[in-house]
Structure 1
């Protein structure tokens, strides 16, 4: 049995919150530069140039890439040989978020009640998904999620008879409806299968993959390619001003489902697709 202290988790999460919000991931940065290289629309080129410059300034000055520093979403892989000491795991994660958002001067965007509102003042509580895995390590992955893009996400309980075309039509329609609202170019996470809540979680976790990576199943890798081509043919473009760079990547994750269903969720992420991972 290996011990990890709550204080270790707090400090790690604190640092992750600042890092994720101030330093654009290398894969996103690379995809933006590739988009700039292939764009022919002059307005789109200008938008992508400004987006890249903004990211560089944020990194140099250690200030947020975007004013919406998101709701903190965590994916934890907790080794079953790990013992957390000095406090509860959930409390440690939330305390790390509290410290990170205060000390990093990150915007606090969480309200205490979905209808009655009232800002919690410290960006907690975080959304935490925990998986028990073999081993004696704790892997923490943080994906701050802004709601300009989150609000454009959708889920649909498709009938099996709607087939692959139904999936494609729903994903492309979701991006078309979103238009310029989620600050494209986008990263599009797609979850297929499971149950109502499982496919939504699949779509969210798909956003954690490196842009340009392919689903290991060639069938779904081809679906990713098809969806990306169709989405970039919508002429929404960077910030909605037109062009061929509406999406930087489309990433599909699947799970077995019931004979009577074919759930599909689309989780849209803006050009500031943030995630950072640490292992304790």
Structure 2
């Protein structure tokens, strides 16, 4: 049994909240760079070039790459041979988010009561925390700040088993077409297929934290990812909705077993600054 003090989780979450909001992952930056050469529209190319300038400025000046620094989504994989000491895990995570957003001068966007009062909590807590018990004695943390310009464009449909592969592909494409310019394209698209109502959405959210340059290990779903990406980039929405062949940067699919009577499909959309950081303790 390995002991881990929750204070180390607090420090890790604080650091990752700041880093994720200021420095994008290499796969996102690289895909935007390659898209410039593929674009035929001068306006689309200029927008993509402006994105790169913004990303570099954020990195150099240590400021957020987007003014919407998101709601902090935390995926925490806890080894079953780990014994957490020093306090509550939930409190440790929220303390890390609070420290990261206040010390990092990141915009706090969370309201405590969702409907009645909607008063800002002042430190971007509480976070969205997903925990999973896994084998081993390590703790893996992924911090994924999620802005709501893109989050609001996400979709879920409870399909029936009679739905075909084409039906699923069409649903994903339609969701992005409906979103149009709202999620600040080019977008990253996470697709969750299977499970039940809530798990399909979680699969889709988890999918946008995965590298967009790593195809699904199952050739069937890797081919679906390619097909969806190609169709999205033929929609003509383009960067910021001004037209072009770069509507999506990547598509990731996650699947899970489901019930004989159902086929849940969820689509989670990330903007061109889809952000995440991971660390193992």
Structure 2 unaligned residues grouped into runs of 5+: none
Contact kept? 1:158, 1:166, Cα under 8 Å: no
Matched with 2:42 is: 42
Matched with 1:93 is: 93
TM-score normalised by L of structure 1: 0.99
CA distance in 2, matches of 1:62, 1:49: 20
Q: For residue 199 of structure 1, give the secondary structure of its aligned residue in structure 2.
A: helix
CA distance in 2, matches of 1:222, 1:8: 40
Matched with 1:114 is: 114
Structure 1 range deviating more: 91-100 or 160-169: 160-169
CA distance in 1, matches of 2:257, 2:8: 37
Tell me how far 1:220 sits from its aligned partner: 0.6
Structure 1 range deviating more: 9-18 or 143-152: 9-18
Tell me how far 1:162 sits from its aligned partner: 2.1
CA distance in 1, matches of 2:202, 2:6: 26
Q: For residue 72 of structure 1, give the secondary structure of its aligned residue in structure 2.
A: strand
Q: For residue 162 of structure 1, give the secondary structure of its aligned residue in structure 2.
A: coil
Matched with 1:154 is: 155
Structure 1 unaligned residues grouped into runs of 5+: none
Matched with 1:132 is: 133
CA distance in 1, matches of 2:262, 2:11: 43
**Root-mean-square deviation (Å):** 0.7
Q: Deviations for 1:88-142, whole angstroms, at most 9, x for unmatched residues?
A: 1111000000000000000000010110211111100000111101111111011
How many residue pairs were aligned?
Answer: 280
Matched with 1:105 is: 105
TM-score normalised by L of structure 2: 0.98
Q: For residue 163 of structure 2, give the secondary structure of its aligned residue in structure 1.
A: helix
Tell me how far 1:11 sits from its aligned partner: 1.1
